């Protein structure tokens, strides 16, 4: 891993997500780019835009100093741009050649980012995205749940997960949740997993639940996992996963970060 992009609204929640990124990936050996996107309100003129950017750059400098002091990160870049985050971040990902995007679920006011900025980032992003709840504990990840939907996966899509497992000496639990069709068997992508996770502890599990998303989170909690990983195929799946009606069951207020992996050959959205 070389370059990690950290979109931030300069809030305590986004600082926590940045802290988590260095814990998971390591403070050294990576470039961390802090990205703040400033959008105009309706009716704002050019003078107001310049003032907003000037203030954001000042606040970003303070935010970066806090981030470095808290984490010991040795290579930190500050970037303030004009525009809505989901619309401008793609060009930044390309500019810096980011390999991972890490962001929080909630913004400065405590409002959920999931329905707007975070979902917008996942919809457009061509690299993995890690979404970090504000209650995610800052401790080493030892157990990772990887959802398997029996639609196949390429070993290339699992490259980042392999790196994170090696850095953290983590076990990967590959889980297929049998939902409304409990007799569906399908096939594990054994060759892809064997190639991607060579030399890494990994296990295959089934879980049963009437709802696939519920079953995945319940399995992770029951097995004391610290991270859930899924392959991005359908953005609607992620909207359902964290919609407000499932706040309790799916831990919108909880502590399980979600890593969204990309498999371009298989992505349908």
Q: Are residues 150 and 74 in the same domain?
A: no
What pLDDT does 48 receive? Answer: 73
- Alpha-carbon distance of 239 to 173, in angstroms, equals 24
| CATH number where 191 lies | 3.40.50.620
Token pair 């399908």 is found at 186
State whether 171 and 203 are in the same domain. yes
Is residue 60 included in any domain, yes or no? yes
Q: Looking at the structure, tell me whether residues 126 and 194 fall in a common domain.
A: no
Q: Is residue 90 included in any domain, yes or no?
A: yes
Same domain, 128 and 184: no
What pLDDT does residue 2 have? 82
Helices 12-25, 46-71: axis angle to 10 degrees equals 40
- Residue 137 lies inside a defined structural domain of this protein: no
Domain assignment present for 267: no
175 and 85 in a single domain? The answer is no
The residue from 110, 132, 154 where one domain ends is 132
* The predicted structure's pLDDT at residue 184: 54
The crossing angle, in degrees rounded to 10, of helices 159-168 and 12-25 is 80
Same domain, 20 and 124: yes
Q: What is the pLDDT of residue 265?
A: 44
Residue 78 lies in a domain: yes
Tell me what pLDDT residue 135 has.
Answer: 84
What local confidence, expressed as pLDDT, does residue 248 receive?
A: 35
Q: Which residues of the chain have pLDDT under 70?
A: 1, 40-45, 106-117, 119, 179-187, 233-254, 264-269
Q: How deeply is 41 buried, as exposed, middle or buried, from its count of CB atoms within 10 A (0-12, 13-18, 19+)?
A: exposed
Q: Are residues 128 and 188 in the same domain?
A: no
pLDDT at 111: 44
Query: Based on the domain organization, do 118 and 165 belong to the same domain?
Result: no
Structural domain including 92 reads 3-132
- Let me know if residue 268 belongs to a domain: no
Single residue among 113, 132, 151 that ends a domain in this structure = 132
User: Is residue 138 one of the residues assigned to a domain?
Assistant: no
In a domain, 269, yes or no: no
Q: How far is CA 175 from CA 11, 81, 168, 215, in A?
A: 34, 40, 20, 10
- Please indicate, yes or no, whether residues 91 and 152 belong to a single structural domain of this protein: no
| Domain edge (last residue) among 87, 111, 132 | 132
Indicate whether 117 and 56 sit together in one domain: yes
Task: Tell me, yes or no, whether 126 and 152 share the same domain.
Answer: no
Give how many domains the chain has, as a whole number: 2
Contacts of 198 (CB under 8 A, 6+ apart): none
Say how far apart CA 35 and CA 88 lie, in whole Å.
10
Same domain, 147 and 251: yes
pTM, to two decimals: 0.85
């Amino acid at each position: 891993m070389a370059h990690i992009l950290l979109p931030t609204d300069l809030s305590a929640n986004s600082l926590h997500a940045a802290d988590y990124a260095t814990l998971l990936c390591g403070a050294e050996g990576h470039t961390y780019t802090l990205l703040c996107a400033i959008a105009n309100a309706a009716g704002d003129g050019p003078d107001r835009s310049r003032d907003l950017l000037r203030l954001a750059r000042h606040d970003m400098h303070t935010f970066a100093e806090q981030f470095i002091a808290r984490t010991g990160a040795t290579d930190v870049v500050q970037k303030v741009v004009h525009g809505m985050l989901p619309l401008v971040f793609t060009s930044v990902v390309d500019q810096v050649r980011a390999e991972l995007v890490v962001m929080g679920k909630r913004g400065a006011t405590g409002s959920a980012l999931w329905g707007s900025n975070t979902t917008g980032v996942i919809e457009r992003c061509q690299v993995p995205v890690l979404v970090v709840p504000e209650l995610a504990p800052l401790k080493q990840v030892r157990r990772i749940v990887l959802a398997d939907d029996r639609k196949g996966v390429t070993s290339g899509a699992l490259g980042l997960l392999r790196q994170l497992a090696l850095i953290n000496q983590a076990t990967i639990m590959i889980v297929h949740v049998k939902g409304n069709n409990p007799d569906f068997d399908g096939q594990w992508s054994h060759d892809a997993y064997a190639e991607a996770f060579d030399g890494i502890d990994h296990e295959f599990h089934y879980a049963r639940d009437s709802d696939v998303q519920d079953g995945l989170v319940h399995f992770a909690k029951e097995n004391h996992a610290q991270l859930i990983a899924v392959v991005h195929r359908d953005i609607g799946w992620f909207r359902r996963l964290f919609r407000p009606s499932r706040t309790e069951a799916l831990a919108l207020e909880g502590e399980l970060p979600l890593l969204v992996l990309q498999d371009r050959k298989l992505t349908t959205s």
